[in-house]
């Protein structure tokens, strides 16, 4: 049953291999905990005992909720296939979790990143700077960055393939346009991918992560230096400068506004700092 479900995730829902692997591991863990009983025989009490066991093992609520979501999706699938009549996970509520604020760079840090650091004018140097400029200048995800092809560029915009296999168009600022033009002059014409490794191959996640970490550590003291930090920075800076929240939602490719609203917390924090410094009564 699990293999059937995983095949559904891959071929019908088109989830990433990494996500499918997570589902597989979660369901295998549940299977082991319940001593291999048939999924159709699993009850709400069984799932509740599993959640309690995970909590007693010291697993964070956020991780437990992710595992519970995997189980819930699996039983929903079985219910739709008429294998079970009721979803045993329906009566189990997700555990409460604190919502961490997105980690982002201050504007002075981004200025240092692109103005103080030196990038060579050869292929590798221009590639590194373009990689960083695209992440910060468009707010795209790591997976979206890797998938960009030369044909996706069109003057002052780029077409990006996001989650749920949906395309969106993102404008490119003038500096980014000029950088792309210089980079393409050195780009191998026989490859369709925009960004390539030093060996001329398509980028892969670890390569991008290492590059971003290398440069962010030179201009910031943040402990988190992933590509997603630049996505958070893009959204936060737009909001701080008065951009409409719905517009930011569309640029980020969020399915609903609630995912974008987390950036308002950073904006409110900035307003508090301004208030503390400027108000006579503060």
Catalytic residues: 141, 163, 228, 231, 254, 263
Collapsing DSSP to helix, strand or coil, 202 comes out as strand
Contact assessment for residue 168 and residue 253, using Cβ atoms and an 8 Å cutoff: yes
Closest CA to 16 of 144, 122, 130, 117: 144
Closest CA to 155 of 132, 178, 135: 178
Rounded Cα distance between 74 and 49, Å, is 18
How many C-beta neighbours within 10 Å does residue 1 have? 15
E-strand spans in the chain?
A: 153-154, 157-161, 167-171
What is the 8-class DSSP label of residue 242? T
Rounded Cα distance between 149 and 166, Å, is 16
């Amino acid at each position: 049953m699990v293999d059937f479900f995983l095949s559904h995730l891959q071929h019908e829902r088109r989830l990433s291999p990494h996500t499918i692997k997570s589902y597989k591991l979660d369901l295998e863990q549940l299977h082991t905990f319940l001593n291999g009983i048939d999924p159709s025989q699993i009850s709400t009490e069984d799932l509740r005992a599993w959640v309690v066991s995970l909590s007693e093992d010291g697993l964070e609520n956020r991780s437990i909720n992710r595992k519970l979501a995997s189980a819930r999706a699996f039983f929903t699938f079985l219910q739709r296939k008429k294998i079970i009549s009721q979803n045993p996970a329906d009566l189990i509520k997700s555990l409460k979790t604190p919502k961490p604020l997105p980690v982002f760079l201050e504007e002075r840090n981004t200025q240092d990143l692109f103005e103080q650091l030196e990038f060579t004018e050869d292929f590798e140097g221009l590639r590194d700077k373009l990689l960083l400029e695209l992440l910060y200048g468009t707010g795209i995800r790591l997976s979206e960055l890797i998938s960009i092809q030369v044909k996706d560029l069109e003057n002052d915009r780029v077409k990006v393939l996001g989650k749920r296999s949906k395309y969106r168009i993102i404008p490119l600022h003038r500096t980014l346009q000029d950088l792309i033009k210089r980079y393409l002059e050195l780009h191998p014409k026989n490859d369709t991918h925009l960004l390539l490794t030093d060996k001329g191959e398509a980028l892969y996640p670890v390569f991008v992560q290492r590059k971003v970490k290398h440069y962010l550590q030179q201009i910031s003291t943040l402990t988190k230096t992933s590509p997603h930090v630049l996505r958070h920075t893009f959204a936060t800076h737009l909001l701080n400068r008065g951009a409409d929240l719905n517009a930011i939602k569309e640029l980020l490719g969020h399915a609903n506004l609630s995912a974008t609203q987390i950036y308002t917390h950073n904006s409110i924090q900035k307003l508090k700092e301004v208030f503390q410094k400027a108000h006579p009564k503060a």
